[in-house]
Amino acid sequence: MNPALFATILLRTLSVYFVLQGFMIVAQTVGASLTLGNLPGGMKYSWPDAAWVVIPFLSGVLLWALAPRISLAIVGEDTLRSGQAPLTTESALGAVISAAGLLVVITHLPTLIVMLSRYAIDTDEMISSLPLHYLIRQALEVGFGLMLLIGMRAWVRLIKFLREIGLQK
């Protein structure tokens, strides 16, 4: 099995997880709106709430469709041009780290978008109910996921280096 095929399988497995998460969020939202819609005052949704419901499902569908291209970016076309590259520990670890980074980004990005849009609305009532440290935490989590996703080769080198240091003791 070549590294690109392994990364594609890994990304498509991750995309199935996101589609299932999207369906679960839609079911919870519909259930809550049916339950709370009957109360006095009803339940009102804004577009940030709709983004929270739709983004996991759409990101799963996009991830499925773009998995071959993303896997080529993860593995690198130079590796594939050099012939049928075997699956090495470094390439498998790089694919897993990239998939973990993608998982972190896609998991926390909808929350960050909702929080940013609520800050953009700029009503005193919403800002007082949403502390700034939650927004900073979500931004840091998305940034960490991007760091894993983009800098996966550096992470692989770091893990390999730490493993070699451990073997020398």
**Residues 99-131: tens digit of each pLDDT:** 888 888 888 887 888 778 777 776 665 555 667
pLDDT of res. 58:
86
- Listed in sequence order, the DSSP H helices in the chain are 3-36, 47-75, 77-81, 89-121, 124-129, 132-150, 152-168
Q: What is the residue range of 76's domain?
A: 3-168
Percent of the chain at pLDDT > 90 equals 2
Report the b/e string of 106-131 with b at 16+ CB within 10 A: bbbbbbbbbbebbeeeeeeeeeeeee
pLDDT of res. 169:
56
- Which regions in the chain score pLDDT beneath 70? 1, 30-51, 78-87, 122-130, 166-169
pLDDT of res. 85:
61
> How many domains, in total, are found in the chain?
1
pLDDT of res. 120:
72
pLDDT of res. 15:
85
pLDDT of res. 1:
66
